[in-house]
Chain A
Amino acid sequence: MKHLKQQWKTRTSIVLIVSVLVSLILVTLERTDWAMQINLQGYSHGSAEGEKPNIAPILMYILPFVKELVLIGVPMLLTLGIAKLFGLIKKRFKRAD
């Protein structure tokens, strides 16, 4: 915990102040034409209220985590692949020089 205690009051205050300021700027998004358009059109996602999806109850608990693993894991692997590709191209160019 000694690492967290180091100037924690000043640092936490700075994080808090910056986060609140950025959040206040983000809240102003609701005044944009884009927000008004979405509010006029309406928005809903997922099944209707009270309506249960037709899947096994155990899957109801597992599938959200599978979705997270896919949404985090696939871009992670793609990034690693792209970084490796860039590394190889860079090496080729260096060799050619």
Chain B
Amino acid sequence: MSNWKQNLQKFRYVMDTLLLISFMLVSAPQATGVSLHEWFSLFFIVPFAIHLLLHWDWIQRSSSRLLANITARERFNIIWDYLLYIMMLLVFVSGFLVSVALLPALDISLNIQDFWSKIHHDSATFIMPMLGVHLALNLGWILKLTKRMFAKEAK
């Protein structure tokens, strides 16, 4: 585990774990309070962007892979990841548009619409099962890396 910063796969694993933990923290406004929820959400953009940057090769390849002769599972995985990205943006956008702590603190006032409240609540709930499917589709990689991360280094 000591060389995780040098190894891309291990670096991805650590960053993805941090992303999952921060996602769970951000997604529990009932526990953290709305104010902290909104500030955490702002900082959540950082691990989310890191996740995209660390999987840049996959993003670049994905569009051409979609047109190639690939398995149904891989095609589903690519489309699902695109949908997850759009859903994440919808949660972000709707969240900022219903902000009651973050934007007022930055001296930005908005007329909060019931539509965005509903969209934020529904999309934030719906993104959780979507994430569950995303994790299941990549479970092979997660388990393989977990073993590699915690394997005792050869003496």
Interface residues of A (CB under 8 A from B): 1-4, 8, 11-12, 15, 19, 22-23, 26-27, 29-30, 34-36, 38-39, 41-46, 60-65, 68, 71-77, 79-80, 83, 86
27 residue pairs A–B, Cβ–Cβ below 8 Å: A3-B12, A11-B53, A12-B49, A15-B53, A22-B86, A23-B93, A26-B90, A27-B97, A29-B119, A30-B113, A36-B115, A39-B114, A43-B114, A45-B121, A60-B30, A64-B29, A65-B24, A65-B28, A71-B132, A72-B128, A72-B129, A73-B132, A75-B136, A77-B136, A79-B133, A83-B137, A86-B73
Q: In the complex, are the beta carbons of B128 and A71 less than 8 A apart?
A: yes
Query: A10 → chain B, closest Cβ, in Å?
Result: 10
Instruction: Give CA–CA (A46, B139) in the complex, Å.
Output: 34
Q: In the complex, are the beta carbons of B31 and A15 less than 8 A apart?
A: no
Interface residue B89 (Cβ < 8 Å from any Cβ of A) = yes
Interface residues of B (CB under 8 A from A): 5-6, 8, 11-12, 24, 27-31, 49-50, 52-54, 56, 73, 86, 89-90, 92-93, 97, 113-119, 121, 125, 128-133, 135-137, 139
Q: In the complex, are the beta carbons of A71 and B129 less than 8 A apart?
A: yes
Please, which residue of chain B has its CB at the minimum distance from the CB of A64? Answer: B28
Q: In the complex, are the beta carbons of B115 and A30 less than 8 A apart?
A: yes
The SS class assigned to the A binding surface is: helix
Report the tally of A-B residue pairs with Cβ distances under 8 A. Answer: 107
